[in-house]
């Protein structure tokens, strides 16, 4: 048995991506005997991240420092990426750098743009960056 709250957490972590929902649900199912718990959910997420960490670290190693700082700004929900404040805060150089950074991240299939809004191609990579790489609390 699984609660609606845990289902919502699965959907949140996976950004409603069907493959990743199934993957995380499978990990949780493996740890659950009768009823899924928050503790088992956290354990499942940790195992899923650990199993993907080598791929995620390789992705990060192939990014420039500008690209990483741009991703950090995205993860911090910065709305005006071309504003002087955001460019200064994340040391993105100049407004001209932004299109180069965005193009590079798109060609590396890290982000995609949907109606001009950047979205991470892999929601688990986004979660790993946010929670493990940049170490925001869950």
Q: How far apart are CA 109 and CA 99, in angstroms?
A: 15
Q: Are residues 121 and 86 in the same domain?
A: yes
Q: Which domain holds residue 44?
A: 4-59
Q: How far apart are CA 70 and CA 132, in angstroms?
A: 17
pLDDT at position 137 over 70: no
Q: Are residues 80 and 120 in the same domain?
A: yes
Q: Are residues 21 and 40 in the same domain?
A: yes
Q: What's the predicted TM-score (pTM) here?
A: 0.88
Q: Are residues 74 and 27 in the same domain?
A: no
Q: How far apart are CA 77 and CA 13, in angstroms?
A: 16
Q: CA angle at residue 69 from 68 to 70, to 5 degrees?
A: 90
Provide the number of structural domains found in the chain: 2
Q: Are residues 73 and 123 in the same domain?
A: yes
pLDDT at position 70 over 80: yes
Q: How far apart are CA 85 and CA 18, in angstroms?
A: 37
pLDDT for res 21 = 96
- pLDDT tens for residues 40-61? 999 999 999 999 999 999 999 9
Helix (H/G/I), strand (E/B), else coil: 113: strand
Give the pair of three-digit tokens for residue 50: 């650990």
- pLDDT tens for residues 84-133? 999 999 999 988 899 999 999 999 999 999 888 899 999 999 999 999 99
Q: How far apart are CA 117 and CA 113, in angstroms?
A: 5
């Amino acid at each position: 048995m699984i609660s609606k709250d845990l289902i919502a957490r699965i959907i949140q972590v996976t950004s409603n991506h069907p493959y990743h929902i199934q993957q995380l649900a499978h990990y949780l199912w493996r740890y659950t005997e009768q009823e899924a718990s928050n503790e088992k959910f956290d354990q499942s997420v940790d195992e899923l991240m650990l199993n993907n960490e080598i791929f995620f670290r390789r992705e990060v190693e192939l990014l420039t420092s500008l690209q990483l700082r741009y991703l950090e700004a995205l993860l911090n929900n910065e709305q005006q990426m071309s504003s002087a404040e955001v460019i200064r805060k994340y040391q993105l150089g100049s407004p001209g750098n932004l299109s180069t950074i965005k193009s590079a991240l798109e060609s590396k299939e890290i982000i995609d743009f949907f109606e001009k809004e950047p979205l991470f191609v892999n929601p688990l990579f986004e979660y790993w960056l946010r929670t493990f790489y940049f170490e925001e609390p869950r």
